[in-house]
Chains A and B, each alone.
Chain A
Amino acid sequence: MNIRKILDTVKKPFGKGEKFEKYAPAVNAFDTFLFVPNHTTKHGAHIRDAVDLKRTMITVIVALLPALLYGIYNTGFQYYSQLGSAFTTLDAIIHGSLKIVPMIAVSYIVGLAIEFAFAIFRGHEVNEGYLVTGLLIPMIMPVDIPLWMVGLSVAFAVLIGKEAFGGTGMNILNPALTARAFAFFAYPTYMSGNKVWVSEASNVDGVSGETILGMLASGESTIPYDVSQMFYGAIPGSIAETSTLMVLIGAFILIFTGVGSWRIMLGSVIGAAVTGLLFNLWGANELMNFSWFNHLIVGGFAFGVVFMATDPVSAAQTTKGKWIYGVLVGLFCILIRVFNPAYPEGVMLAILLMNVFAPTIDHYVIESNIKKRLNRKLNSNLNVA
């Protein structure tokens, strides 16, 4: 194994007791990317499952790819079709790639640099979680957001959203949504309104960058898109959120492999559907009249529920808690959409809100288990007496 030999030589100065030992986590991150290390079990079970965090995270990335690829295509498609000029699929993909690939690059470079720095500083190995976060962040941004804002949002999310709480596994809020929320409140003109959701909408007059939910919120009752367009995703929106079909493919991958929680996904869909249905019956404004089913397939609902709400660290952790958490994410998403004209899309805030409440939900689920145990003790004392 020649590559192995080269790697071992490269790693030598970073070994135990050597000059650059401090920087070992950075080198190890690359090494373990190439090779599953030769570590053997020292304590406990002598055999181990094939799964590790790298494999879990790469599965999520694979699940994200359909939505990302469609998002790249849709970015170009929306631009050219609104412009009214003739274009090929390749044109659309090239236009989208030129916009989105730099965003992904910035997100990974800034985020991984901070992750590596903290790993070296704290002396632990680099955790793989950022591989997913770093891809998610550009996918949920408007396409025309300046690259420096992407970088700044990433830095905020990783530093304040994650490392300040103690690093991977300790954060309260989903880091990718923290990045989006940061950009949303810091640079609202780039993150909301009717000029940001299609490529070049703010520069080119012929292009209107308004989302369906935005139109509804401003009181328009006729939507220029039909249900199939909403489902397949040929609509304006954040880069990768538009296609419910592609998100469903991702959801299938996550549920089939067992990596994503189907309970949270199903819970959210039930929560949103029921809430949407109730508002349909009420019907006081355009968003309430918007069919409950359409609520599920427009905006970021599907994407948020499948890829963000299921983040195991920031979601509820108990089985029962996951159901409650999921239903409430769906409920609050529709509630925010319907009642708050300033935020026509509610899924980001709904998930962040439930991230904050997830530990409380778990607390009550666990308390009931504790009560059950104490009652069992009381009953057994009664039986003896």
Chain B
Amino acid sequence: MSNDIQIKNGLTINLKGAPENIVKKASFPKSVSINPLNFHLITPKMVVKVGDKVKMGDVVFYSKKNPEIKFCSPVSGTINDIVRGAKRKILEILIDSDDNQNIKKHKISKTDSCSRNSIIELLLDSGCWPFIKQRPYDIIANPNDTPKSIFISAVSSAPIAADIEIILNDQKEEFKAGLNVLNKLTDGDLNVCIEKNHNSFIQEIDNISIHNVSGLHPAGNVGVQIHHIDPVNIGEKVWILGAEDVAIIGKLFLTGIYEPTRTIAVSGPPVKYPQYYKTIVGSKLSNIISDAGISSKDNLRFINGDVLTGYSVDKDSYLGFYNNTLSVLREGNHFRMFGWIPFVNNKVPSIYKTSFSWLFPNKKYDLDTNLNGEERAFVVTGEMENVFPMDIFPMQLLKECMSGNIEKMENLGIYEVAPEDFALIDYSSSSKIEAQKIIREGLDLMVLEVG
């Protein structure tokens, strides 16, 4: 089964600094971090203490609520620090890596002869499970569920984000092996969405449903794809994975080792050499930053993820667990005199034709992090629908999330959305509404009340 999706309600934002098709190998990180904040709603229970030696693939902590979900060290080394915040909440676990990597090896057998349970067990024990997320709620999947289908998006439509095809280029076999594993986890379809008219090696893979996706961002958002192919109804679960994460799982089942390599696109207007780096999940940013030619003098914002959905980190910080893009933007903490008058300051594009940007659809912009206004009451209607390609009323859903009306949220389709689907609403809102935050809080409320 294959069907094509074309996304018309959306927006492609042209930014300077898109990553070029160059993949470099970054030097092995001296220090890595595991950041529990990457794993939404997971409370870590530590297994190791500061000073402990760990091998690559050794368990560092597990989920307090679901002890079978384990989080493992991406390198072999010594636990340097466990950073805690208010109420002793664990913020970050820092690991100094050894010069010679000690790798934990798991016993493997042929995937085709494995049972579903033994596959899940290996995924859990190896630390690969956190790569599997679920809709609804956009959290790590529950291993006791059986998903009605699994989705993988190999389409990147977000501004200056990593191109999945480039990432998978040298790990095709691992990716295929990973798909084989995932096929065992669901009775339904294993859906892979690829860019239309893009000659992809994925088209040749058997036993998966391939969907051709075209159109504007958020066409690449897996949530949008699920909505158009196999929408999530009340009570149903769909699992989703990042494309490179599938390859990491594939490598585990081919070789027996958990080696979370990460191909990261360093992009953004201030980046001199926007390109790809091969490194490890959670590795320190600094060695990539200097190599990509980013000046340390400028007042910059580093973002783990794309510019619409990522979270900002300090330049001395570490890569996230899931992101394939490290975006860099100039901070926009400056005043602009009369900048609100239409057609003044055309350096900032607008979805409204109140800036000359509509005359130059292909011009690339150097946007900074200025809010371009102040938060106001909801006034303008219809603008959210223009960038939200789902059969859901975004403004009404946001309002119900704000008032915490669970029944209404359920009726209006809260199970089908994730914060990232509202990123363009954040971007385009004339009232500067923080839609992603509102949806995340709404989803958290649903997890708490409905589960």
A interface vs B, CB < 8 Å? 1, 3-4, 32, 34-56, 58-59, 62, 125, 127-129, 167-170, 256-259, 261, 312-313, 315, 317-319, 322, 362, 366, 369-370, 372-374, 376-377, 380
Contact = CB atoms under 8 A, between A and B. Distances in A.
Nearest to A362: B396
B276 to A, nearest CB: 21
B159 to A, nearest CB: 8
B430 A51 contact: yes
A319 B231 CA distance: 22
A53 B329 contact: no
Given A43-B436, A318-B393, A52 B430 contact: yes
A61 B310 CA distance: 37
Contacts of A168: 376-377, 379
Most A CB contacts (10 A, CB to CB) among B235, B335, B350 go to B335
Given A32-B374, A38-B334, A377-B234, A48 B381 contact: no
Contacts of A35: 335-339
Contact of B307 (A47, A51, A257): A47
B386 to A, nearest CB: 8
Nearest to A378: B233
A376 B391 CA distance: 12
A52 B434 contact: no
10 contacts: A37-B374, A45-B307, A45-B308, A45-B424, A55-B354, A59-B352, A315-B381, A369-B391, A369-B412, A376-B233
Contacts of A53: 373, 376, 379-380, 430-431
Interface string B292-333: 000000000101000111101000000000000001010111
Contact of A380 (B233, B337, B367, B429): B233
A49 B351 contact: yes
A279 B85 CA distance: 74
B140 to A, nearest CB: 22
B413 A49 contact: no
Contacts of A370: 411-412
A40 B332 CA distance: 6
A194 B418 CA distance: 60
Most A CB contacts (10 A, CB to CB) among B236, B374, B412, B435 go to B374
Interface of B: 13, 15, 159, 231, 233-236, 301, 303, 307-310, 312, 327, 329, 331-342, 345, 348-355, 357, 367-382, 385, 391-393, 395-396, 411-413, 419, 422-424, 426-432, 434-437
B377 A169 contact: yes
Pairs of residues from A and B, 3 with the lowest C-beta to C-beta distance, nearest first:
A52-B373, A169-B377, A36-B339
B336 A258 contact: no
Contacts of B393: 318, 366, 369
B234 A45 contact: no
B354 A59 contact: yes
A318 B395 CA distance: 9
B394 to A, nearest CB: 11
A42 B369 CA distance: 9
Contact of B335 (A37, A48, A372): A37
Given A59-B342, A366-B393, A373-B411, A39 B385 contact: no
A48 B340 contact: no
A369 B376 CA distance: 28
Contacts of B15: 47
Most B CB contacts (10 A, CB to CB) among A36, A43, A125 go to A36
A50 B353 CA distance: 10
Contacts of A37: 335, 371, 373-374
A318 B394 CA distance: 10
Contact of A49 (B236, B336, B339, B372): B372
Given A58-B341, A258-B352, A36 B430 contact: no
A46 B376 contact: no
Nearest to A311: B379
B293 to A, nearest CB: 21
Contacts of B334: 38
B379 A46 contact: no
Given A39-B370, A41-B369, A45-B423, A56 B352 contact: yes
B378 A169 contact: yes
A258 B430 CA distance: 12
Nearest to A56: B430
B340 A58 contact: yes
Contacts of A317: 381-382, 395-396
A52 B372 contact: yes
A38 B335 contact: yes
A170 B380 CA distance: 12
Nearest to A319: B385
A43 B332 CA distance: 14
B412 to A, nearest CB: 7
B350 A49 contact: yes
Contact of B369 (A46, A58, A169, A257): A46
Contact of A127 (B329, B376, B435, B436): B376
Contacts of A51: 350-352, 354, 372-373, 428, 430
Contacts of A128: 376
Contacts of B436: 43-45
Given A37-B371, A52-B376, A168-B376, A45 B342 contact: no
A119 to B, nearest CB: 11
Contacts of A127: 376-377, 379
Given A43-B434, A125-B375, 17 more contacts: A36-B339, A39-B371, A42-B434, A44-B419, A45-B424, A47-B367, A47-B427, A48-B370, A48-B429, A49-B430, A52-B373, A55-B430, A125-B374, A128-B376, A257-B352, A258-B352, A369-B392
Contacts of B424: 45
B390 to A, nearest CB: 11
B377 A48 contact: no
Nearest to B386: A258
Contacts of B422: 44
Given A45-B426, A51-B430, A257 B353 contact: yes
Contacts of B349: 49-50
Contacts of B342: 55, 58-59, 62, 257
A209 to B, nearest CB: 36
A54 B331 CA distance: 23
Given A47-B308, A47-B369, A373-B411, A167 B377 contact: yes
Contacts of A373: 233, 411, 413
A3 to B, nearest CB: 7
A351 to B, nearest CB: 16
Contacts of A322: 382
Contact of B309 (A41, A45, A258): A45
A100 to B, nearest CB: 24
A41 B368 CA distance: 9
Contacts of A56: 352, 354, 379-380, 430
Contact of A36 (B13, B234, B373, B413): B373
Contacts of A47: 13, 15, 159, 307-308, 329, 367-369, 427
A44 B437 contact: yes
A151 to B, nearest CB: 25
B263 to A, nearest CB: 22
Contacts of A39: 333, 370-371, 373-374
B308 A36 contact: no
Nearest to A371: B411
